[in-house]
């Protein structure tokens, strides 16, 4: 067998084009090491959601070598510095933030313990991060005049999913990725099960050494052809439907573009609200065991208000879970074809970025690929398990009992064993750095603390020294940076308007 160097990506959604763009820059930077081709269907659409990201996206865009300003213009992007969770703990609880930033900590991090020993009259996140205040004030995480991707504060983006894929397509094609628009109808396999070629409706036969399945939930190569296993997460994550709308800015948020994602818990799931420059993306993620599609759409429209009249609502079905062997034979499933965890923490695009990077790191140039695929699968499996626990935590710590759905998600059998083990341990000690061995993880103990304390998680009695029941101390650096931000950071909508050269958000 010759060295693997021809790659065929099937599918041109965010997964296909992130993989193509990243692989092309990572492997073909100095000299061409792989020949990349992507085929996508014009008749089978993209999923068209997936508009909130996490900060790792910036490293990916930088690695691909694109201009941040151009990217933002082409994809109607805005900044995101946190997720705000409303009504998750109890209805009308005031909400809490999971910000990206946190003040530098000493090796022994006492912030959580100190807060638990206080009267908790200030939300935990406000005692360790400046971004809840910046979010409330509608401030941009970037200062005017700063360089592309440059800011002392971590941030990600909200962006138009279709325009993002189109933008990466244009860049990739200009830089040498071959592109076909055609429907894949047949897959040819060798006797050992390897895929040898895909056939298209238009009569093409596309051969490759390595195939990347980015066909979304269809999972045409990995699922339908190679019949790889699927581990269902439905026991722990009950939501399996979404209804999504694109809502123009009108009188709703005049002149504002929120610099954070809002996740509001509704009766049988939650609603996302993602502000782009020229519209908002909103959607209701819910459980079909408890709510019909019609009821969900009615609730979403009612929550949004009269301005959604006449706007199209898209209904989406999904299965939560993952393929434990996303790299099987000579085919790697990336994106929805390889798995999906519901979008509460915007991890879909992150998992794609992560898979693309990990695949490049383990790219099979030689004849023996098994050690590489084995390790790739282990690494991806850990990412899914990690994210499953983190999302599961948002539901099972709720105190809501207003519907069957919220009563159900708190039940013992709805909590993963590994999350239960974490809870059991954290009853005796607030989360800290050394609780996690896995250096590749997305969510550190800091992220866990934002959610745990936002949801009023309690340590066992007597575990901490007695507190004085005084208001939590907000450290001087947090207070000073918030004050400085008020004068030095532009309003988010103003920064975007200036960057784009036109008024946004109104």
Q: How far apart are CA 210 and CA 331, in angstroms?
A: 6
Q: Phi and psi dihedrals of 180, rounded to 5?
A: -125, 140
Strands 279-286 and 269-275: antiparallel
Is 80 annotated in the active site?
yes
Q: Report the chain's terminal Cα–Cα distance, integer Å.
A: 59
User: Taking CB under 6 A as the rule, does residue 214 contact ligand FAD?
Assistant: yes
| Run of H or E residues at 211 | strand 210-213
Burial class (CB in 10 A: 0-12, 13-18, 19+), 487: exposed
If the CB atoms of residues 184 and 482 are measured against ligand FAD, the closer one turns out to be 184
Site for ligand FAD in 135-194 (CB under 6 A): 161, 183-184
Among 23, 51, 86, 376, binds ligand FAD (CB under 6 A): 51
Nearest CA-CA partner of 380 in 351, 360, 344, 353: 351
Give the separation between CA 398 and CA 377, rounded to whole angstroms: 33
> How far are the Cα atoms of 208, 256, 382, 440, 506 from residue 437, in angstroms, in the given order?
37, 41, 12, 9, 46
Could you say which residues in the range 230-269 bind ligand FAD, by CB under 6 A? 242
Six-digit token pair at 171? 């860049």
CB of 349 to ligand FAD, least distance (A): 3
Answer yes or no: are the C-beta atoms of 173 and 166 closer than 8 Å: no
Should residue 225 be labelled a site residue for ligand FAD when binding is judged by CB under 6 A? no
Q: Which of 138, 141, 275, 335 binds ligand FAD (CB under 6 A)?
A: 335
Instruction: Please pick, from the candidates 318, 327, 354, 390, the single residue that binds ligand FAD as defined by CB under 6 A.
Output: 318
CB 323 within 8 A of CB 338: yes
Q: Among 218, 268, 274, 222, which residue's Cα sits nearest to residue 245?
A: 274
Candidate list 247, 316, 372, 459; residue touching ligand FAD; CB under 6 A: 316
CA distances, 476 to each of 121, 257, 407, 479 (Å): 18, 29, 41, 5
Catalytic residue among 74, 80, 258, 329: 80
Least Å distance between CB 429 and ligand FAD? 32
Residue from 75, 101, 131, 215 in contact with ligand FAD (CB under 6 A):
215
Among 20, 26, 40, 432, binds ligand FAD (CB under 6 A): 40
Give, as ranges, the residues between 336 and 395 that touch ligand FAD (CB under 6 A): 336-337, 343, 346, 348-349, 352
Of the candidate residues 22, 50, 257, 396, the single one contacting ligand FAD (CB under 6 A): 50
User: Based on CB atoms, which residue is closest to ligand FAD, 128 or 177?
Assistant: 177
239 close to 285: Cβ distance less than 8 angstroms:
yes
Of 52, 77, 111, 415, the one binding ligand FAD by CB under 6 A: 52
- Distance of closest approach, residue 432 Cβ to ligand FAD, in angstroms: 28
Which residue, 40 or 209, is less far from ligand FAD as judged by CB? 40
Q: Which is nearer to ligand FAD, 53 or 262 (CB)?
A: 53
Query: Cβ of residue 256: shortest distance to ligand FAD, in angstroms?
Result: 20
Using CB under 6 A as the binding rule, whether residue 12 contacts ligand FAD is answered as yes
Residues 6+ apart with CB under 8 A from 59: none
Residues recognised as catalytic? 80
Binding site for ligand FAD (CB under 6 A): 10-16, 39-41, 44, 46-47, 49-53, 161, 183-184, 214-216, 218, 220, 242, 283, 316, 318, 335-337, 343, 346, 348-349, 352
């Amino acid at each position: 067998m010759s060295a693997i160097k021809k790659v065929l990506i099937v599918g041109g959604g965010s997964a296909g084009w992130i993989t193509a763009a990243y692989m092309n820059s990572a492997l073909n930077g100095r000299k061409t090491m792989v020949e990349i081709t992507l085929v996508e269907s014009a008749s089978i659409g993209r999923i068209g959601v997936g508009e909130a990201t996490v900060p790792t996206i910036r490293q990916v865009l930088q690695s691909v070598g694109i201009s941040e300003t151009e990217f933002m213009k082409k994809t109607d992007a805005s900044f995101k510095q946190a997720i705000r969770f409303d009504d998750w703990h109890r209805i009308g609880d005031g909400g809490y933030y999971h910000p990206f930033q946190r003040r530098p900590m000493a090796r022994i991090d006492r912030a959580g313990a100190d807060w638990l020993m206080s009267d908790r009259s200030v939300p935990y996140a406000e005692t360790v991060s400046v971004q809840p205040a910046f979010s409330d004030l509608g401030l941009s995480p970037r200062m005017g005049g700063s360089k592309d991707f440059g800011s002392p504060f971590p941030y990600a983006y909200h962006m138009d999913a279709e325009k993002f894929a189109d933008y990466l397509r244009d860049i990739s094609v200009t830089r040498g990725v071959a592109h076909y628009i055609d429907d894949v109808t047949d897959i040819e396999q060798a006797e050992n099960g390897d895929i040898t070629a895909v056939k298209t409706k238009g009569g093409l036969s596309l051969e490759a050494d390595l195939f990347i399945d980015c066909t979304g939930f269809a999972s045409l190569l990995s699922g339908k052809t190679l019949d790889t296993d699927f581990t269902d997460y439905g026991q722990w994550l009950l939501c399996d439907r979404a209804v999504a709308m694109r809502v123009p800015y009108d009188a709703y948020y005049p002149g504002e573009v929120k610099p954070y994602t809002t996740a509001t818990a509704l009766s049988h799931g939650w609603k996302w609200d993602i502000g782009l420059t020229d519209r908002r993306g909103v959607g209701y993620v819910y459980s079909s065991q408890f709510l019909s599609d019609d009821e969900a759409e009615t609730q979403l429209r009612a929550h949004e208000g009269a301005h959604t009249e006449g706007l199209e609502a898209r209904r989406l079905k999904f299965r939560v879970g993952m393929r434990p062997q996303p790299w099987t034979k000579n085919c790697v499933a990336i994106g929805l074809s390889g798995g999906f965890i519901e979008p509460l923490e915007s991890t879909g695009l992150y998992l794609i970025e992560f898979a693309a990077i990990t695949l490049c790191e383990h790219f099979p140039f030689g004849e023996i690929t098994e050690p590489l695929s084995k390790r790739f699968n282990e690494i991806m499996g850990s990412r899914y398990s990690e994210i499953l626990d983190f999302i599961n935590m948002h539901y099972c710590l709720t105190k809501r009992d207003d519907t069957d759905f919220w009563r159900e998600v708190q039940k013992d059998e709805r909590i993963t064993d590994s999350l239960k083990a974490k809870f059991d341990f954290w009853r005796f000690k607030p989360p800290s750095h050394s609780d996690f061995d896995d250096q590749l993880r997305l969510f550190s103990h800091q992220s866990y603390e934002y959610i745990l304390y936002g949801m009023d998680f309690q340590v066992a009695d007597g575990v901490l020294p007695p507190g004085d029941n005084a208001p939590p101390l907000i450290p001087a650096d947090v207070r000073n940076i918030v004050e400085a931000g008020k004068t030095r950071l532009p309003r988010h909508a103003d920064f975007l308007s200036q960057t784009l050269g036109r008024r946004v958000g109104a």
